[in-house]
Chain A
């Protein structure tokens, strides 16, 4: 069928901020969908609260609303834009839930908006576990035995009839939030309680355990013509019981026969038909009993998903784009396959390589969080790798993870598992852990049989055997080592070298295993002519000629490398998402590719993150899906001979490579690595600050505990300590005394052994400023001066910030501008630069200077309507800001607020207090003409509730008591009831603010705030911590607040802003306005100023 002509405007809902379980993959799919629909001539309206996305670029959709994702806001957008249709299947679970809610609340029918892609019936049938189960049984399919419970009593009864272990799945939550496994009554109580709370429907499924079964997924697409295709089969390395987002997954399925694959394929069809999904894609999960092959259906997602993004990258088949076209009426045979151009999209991709996805966790950021892998997803990102064999792909995947590993062991890291006694290793393996690959390796080396390992882990013996082959190759290499004379390159024969490389070994591993240097191995290898070749990802295993510019490297005979015909620039991506390095950097890389492509360069992206827009083969002229290690990047540079390499856009990952690349004469463009080093290195930075006559907080460096303590005494507590060269404030801490410092030093030295620990005076009660600027070596233009709402001391990635700065005086702003420009000039910045300042007692302190893209670039770009990353890329490629017409700062009349989003809900029991170590996974933006409304939007978009009435609990440290008076009074006037601890209540009462007293949490005499939280009586918490000691009371309050979804504010500045937000909400000042309209206003102003 041709496309629908009765639809003109289509509304797409994005997935909001990056959170665990919902990451960049929905930017990738949403962006593809926007492009695909606009190509077809539709007018696309987009709503998404996440500014760090390509989909919210004003060019991606016709109308872009960066607004909170809730039904009220979207209803306003609908009223304003009058879309004909809503496509809810591209914004993850968030988009789907909202689509359903809008439909059920009657908003869609009121405005005559049709749900396309998946209608209400389809969504309900697939998402409601009971309806889904009925549908599956009706279709004659097998499912795990299960029953629904909405009370603890129900759950206990069901448990008695099914027996342990049991899986608890809350209905309709993200990434399995609140789910878990119960092996006994005690665990049952815990997991059921949590699950019932987590489910918005207050419902859980108690299910027969298929723990330890094999997990296989299908990516299925179906059109209105009832044509169904399987895009990809994915086999989980990890068995059932570990969330697929936390599982290593492999495409295609490795251990299923054709008979079994086809049986699952048939079931997939039945499911699509039974659920009624007829114009889009779905992910279907099956569990297979490894002992008798019984197949049960686990679930189906009637939308694009993390797995579909992975399947798209794994096969080259763009699921989201095709799903969008199916939603507007096309059938699969009418859509061409971009890659072959000749053949239609109506086929099943076949691949001639193995794809492995490995999750990336961030437990190092959340001390106290339980790292056990289970049915609730905990990873924050993932890396994908392509190899001709599983061994190659697995080892490439491991070195893509950015965890300092260069393969499956043998890289000189993680040796502690080798030293564990066998018994302890086996015990460790019983509980799935992020390190299980390395634990398994050590167990294999300790002689544990594969049968035993299978019994312990239920990882398929085939995978275990593949790992064992790698381990055996390592052992063999070590055995040969004694033959090597000292100082000589190791005696490896060329066929042996080739065999190692074909099994995915890195030069680093070979070097460590043979006691040689990495460089020596590289030279030896090149001398032997053992060099990788380029292979194509083409959807058809070479059967047809392919035009896709999508490549990977492997060690084979035929090289499919296609030399560039234009000057070429390589843009290094950021690797897997982790805390501190996320979508913002991918955004910058994508912008660089877009801008340089427009300027006639051939753009080449190297990245290993399958979720991203940068790894869409449409983004650059060439895409290399490869790990971002020096070896892999150099291999590509050897082929491409780039005219320039951009390292400053992908975050810390490519920056870490800068030095090595330069040593190999790779031309790095933009700010020189020397300048980057000069800004990162403590000593040279100090000299720089002195030279420019700027002020820095007193600081020092130390390499020992004693040195650190001496330095701290010299500077004066409190001090901020951190290892050098880290992103996201890893292992950064504020310490107040010798004891804390002593404790810190032992942990930090491990965090980064080559570099000393940095010790800075902590500026208490300072206002923190973030500045993004762009410079061309001559001129520097400020993109934005952002003021943090929280005081200094909270990592900039974790603090809410406001653009333009709201409380700074004109002369302060001028001084910031002056210093920023001086720094840019001195560092000869070409490209982007981010400077962090703190103002304390009217003195501007430079905290840090990062001559590279920062996390706030997309936020600032969207707020001011100037694509900073694009301009920066052009500047790096040789243009001047004059030539680009960006010579003056942009003043905006509206306010933009950036608010971080935290994963605390996923890790029960950990402290939610913010500090210099970054903990947020994502961010949202609120934009409005009025400050209060902008804040309210951002705060709500971040998933918090900003109450307009009810009870506020206030407990502040002594220093804040004075500010609390006005706050309390204002809240009182706004109609809030106030509850406070004794001290705070006393102060409030003295000035006539009525406050109810509750006991401190540690006070056993009576009811405290936690009791009130449990009773649902608290709507807002304002609780500022005392710095000196970690206060158990406060930790508990904050933990309960997270559990019970009560907004909790921990700084006075935050509280004041929150009150302004509440005022805005009470006055009903929340309107929606498209980004394009804000930007038009800015342009208007600029041209008015010119004329």
Chain B
């Protein structure tokens, strides 16, 4: 046991001059990012690996973090994306039957700087009051003024294309054990690869394969990877889809070459307006396939239809946001992680209409098209972390694909091999 004065110090400085002194955990170094808070009491591993946090320093409002360690299953991508991690108390030990390593080891391994011991509630309230701030977290430069200056000079998120930094480099196919197959870009497809063989899906999902009942997977879904969370792919796969994940820069023509039954516009980091190429792609997909936009995907969709987006003061990040479906009146507790939002007034006359609303601040949570099988949500139906209330939306998407396409779904007993 060491006292706080023996620990390696670290500083978090915000652009408006507010400075927090704490102790370092994780890797040494200096990182800059937009400082945001997440109110989930669990799920730090999913948060760390969520590509939507690219460019951000995340503070957890819950105070005891790291308690259950890190395991190899609860990841949303192959790496940590946050710029820095801020907690009140990092647990030096971990305890959970699946845990494999501690949070600080994990951060160190991925070169992520962490700071602990600061008044995270004060930081949270400050962000709430003044809005998201650019901050610098450092274990190297311990001069507060210099760090504040660095924060002031750092690039903002608005107008910055962060998706380029997180999207995949080439198309990949998702299967039972994760990304299973690297595929050549759509333009270079040979005929046999265009139509990969269909796969049998057990009704019980990938886990306990105790039954032979199931169906042939039917729907090819191209997922435009703006920083896709793997749970989206898991959900699609579990429901019998064949998810093909393509780089964000893939053109509509290339996407359509995959003959998709549907297209998912994934979640991702930063400002949607900085992504004219994805917006353009989306515009060209309208009417060609059912589209399901998630988070950043919703914003891109709105922009593609001529709507507008704006930056929220401090965003929604957590797993406790009530969202009401205007159609059914149903309320879901949802996972959220966004700093930008669709301007409700701007979608008037675009063909899109509001389907879901956030009960906390009445912001736009879901949109759909009047006629076309196109819909989107601002929250995360895939959860990871957070509640599973809204996972039925994947079912809705599949229904859309079923109605839109001509392919039949065959289900029944698995034929003998």
B-contacting residues of A (Cβ < 8 Å)? Answer: 225-227, 229, 233, 252-262, 265-266, 289-293, 332-333, 342-344, 346-354, 388-390, 460-462, 465, 469, 472-473, 475-476, 493, 495-496, 498-499, 535, 540-545, 556-558
Q: Beyond A258-B74, A499-B3, A542-B125, is A352–B42 a contact (Cβ under 8 Å)?
A: no
Tell me which of A265, A292, A353, A465 contacts B63 (CB under 8 A).
A353
Report how far A472 CA is from B360 CA in the complex, Å: 44
Chain A residues with CB under 8 Å of B384's CB are 258
The 21 sampled A-B contact pairs (Cβ below 8 Å) are: A225-B330, A254-B67, A255-B95, A257-B71, A258-B385, A350-B318, A350-B320, A352-B63, A389-B63, A389-B64, A389-B88, A460-B95, A461-B95, A465-B93, A476-B1, A496-B3, A496-B5, A499-B4, A542-B61, A556-B121, A558-B119
9 tightest CB-CB pairs across the interface, nearest first?
A472-B1, A258-B43, A558-B122, A258-B385, A541-B61, A462-B95, A258-B42, A348-B320, A557-B119
Report how far A505 CA is from B96 CA in the complex, Å: 28
Chain A residues with CB under 8 Å of B39's CB are 350, 540-541, 543
> Do residues B4 and A495 form an inter-chain contact, with CB atoms below 8 A?
yes
Residues B57-72 near A (CB distance < 8 A): 61-64, 67-68, 71
Chain A residues with CB under 8 Å of B386's CB are 258, 262
Chain A residues with CB under 8 Å of B322's CB are 333, 343-344, 346-347
Q: Beyond A293-B97, A495-B3, A556-B121, is A259–B63 a contact (Cβ under 8 Å)?
A: no
**Which residue of A has the minimal Cβ distance to B69?**
A257
B91 interface residue per 8 A CB criterion: yes
B319 interface residue per 8 A CB criterion: yes
B189 interface residue per 8 A CB criterion: no
B331 interface residue per 8 A CB criterion: yes
B417 interface residue per 8 A CB criterion: no
Max chain B Cβ within 10 angstroms of own Cβ: one of A227, A256, A390: A227
Residues B351-378 near A (CB distance < 8 A): 359-361
Residues B312-350 near A (CB distance < 8 A): 318-322, 324, 329-331, 333
Residues B19-59 near A (CB distance < 8 A): 20, 37, 39-43, 45-46
Report how far A352 CA is from B95 CA in the complex, Å: 21
**Which residue of B has the minimal Cβ distance to A387?**
B63
Chain B residues with CB under 8 Å of A347's CB are 320-322, 333, 359-360
| Binary per-residue interface labels of chain B (259-288) against chain A in the complex, 1 for a CB within 8 Å, 0 otherwise | 000000000000000000000000000000
Report how far A1016 CA is from B64 CA in the complex, Å: 57
The size class of the interface chain B forms with chain A is 35 or more
**Can you add 4 more A-B contacts, CB < 8 Å, to A225-B329, A495-B4, A496-B5?**
A252-B62, A258-B40, A333-B331, A350-B39
> Do residues B64 and A556 form an inter-chain contact, with CB atoms below 8 A?
no
Report how far A83 CA is from B20 CA in the complex, Å: 60
Chain B residues with CB under 8 Å of A535's CB are 121
Chain B residues with CB under 8 Å of A260's CB are 96
Chain A residues with CB under 8 Å of B169's CB are none
Report how far A8 CA is from B260 CA in the complex, Å: 59
> Do residues B385 and A352 form an inter-chain contact, with CB atoms below 8 A?
no
Report how far A258 CA is from B96 CA in the complex, Å: 12
B387 interface residue per 8 A CB criterion: yes
Report how far A499 CA is from B89 CA in the complex, Å: 12
> Do residues A541 and B3 form an inter-chain contact, with CB atoms below 8 A?
no
> Do residues A350 and B40 form an inter-chain contact, with CB atoms below 8 A?
yes
Residues B99-130 near A (CB distance < 8 A): 118-122, 124-125, 128
Report how far A557 CA is from B385 CA in the complex, Å: 30
B94 interface residue per 8 A CB criterion: yes
Tell me which of A227, A289, A293, A390 contacts B64 (CB under 8 A).
A390
> Do residues A265 and B74 form an inter-chain contact, with CB atoms below 8 A?
no
Chain B residues with CB under 8 Å of A352's CB are 61-63, 88, 120-121, 124
> Do residues A465 and B1 form an inter-chain contact, with CB atoms below 8 A?
no
Tell me which of A227, A343, A346, A350 contacts B62 (CB under 8 A).
A350
> Do residues B5 and A495 form an inter-chain contact, with CB atoms below 8 A?
yes
Chain B residues with CB under 8 Å of A543's CB are 37, 39, 61, 124, 128, 318
Chain B residues with CB under 8 Å of A493's CB are 5
Tell me which of A259, A291, A495, A557 contacts B73 (CB under 8 A).
A259
Q: Beyond A256-B42, A258-B74, is A542–B1 a contact (Cβ under 8 Å)?
A: no
Report how far A347 CA is from B388 CA in the complex, Å: 14
Chain B residues with CB under 8 Å of A266's CB are 388
B8 interface residue per 8 A CB criterion: no
> Do residues A349 and B320 form an inter-chain contact, with CB atoms below 8 A?
yes
Chain B residues with CB under 8 Å of A544's CB are 128, 360
> Do residues B63 and A388 form an inter-chain contact, with CB atoms below 8 A?
yes
| Binary per-residue interface labels of chain B (65-87) against chain A in the complex, 1 for a CB within 8 Å, 0 otherwise | 00110010110000000000000
Chain B residues with CB under 8 Å of A229's CB are 333
> Do residues A225 and B331 form an inter-chain contact, with CB atoms below 8 A?
yes
Report how far A888 CA is from B331 CA in the complex, Å: 58
**Which residue of B has the minimal Cβ distance to A352?**
B61
**Which residue of A has the minimal Cβ distance to B122?**
A558
Max chain B Cβ within 10 angstroms of own Cβ: one of A226, A258, A389, A542: A258
Query: Shortest distance in angstroms between A356's beta carbon and chain B's nearest beta carbon?
Result: 12
B383 interface residue per 8 A CB criterion: yes
> Do residues A354 and B61 form an inter-chain contact, with CB atoms below 8 A?
no
Report how far A293 CA is from B128 CA in the complex, Å: 37
**Which residue of A has the minimal Cβ distance to B97?**
A293
**Which residue of A has the minimal Cβ distance to B125?**
A542
Report how far A886 CA is from B255 CA in the complex, Å: 86
Report how far A423 CA is from B302 CA in the complex, Å: 70
**Which residue of A has the minimal Cβ distance to B21?**
A557
Chain A residues with CB under 8 Å of B43's CB are 257-258
Chain B residues with CB under 8 Å of A390's CB are 64
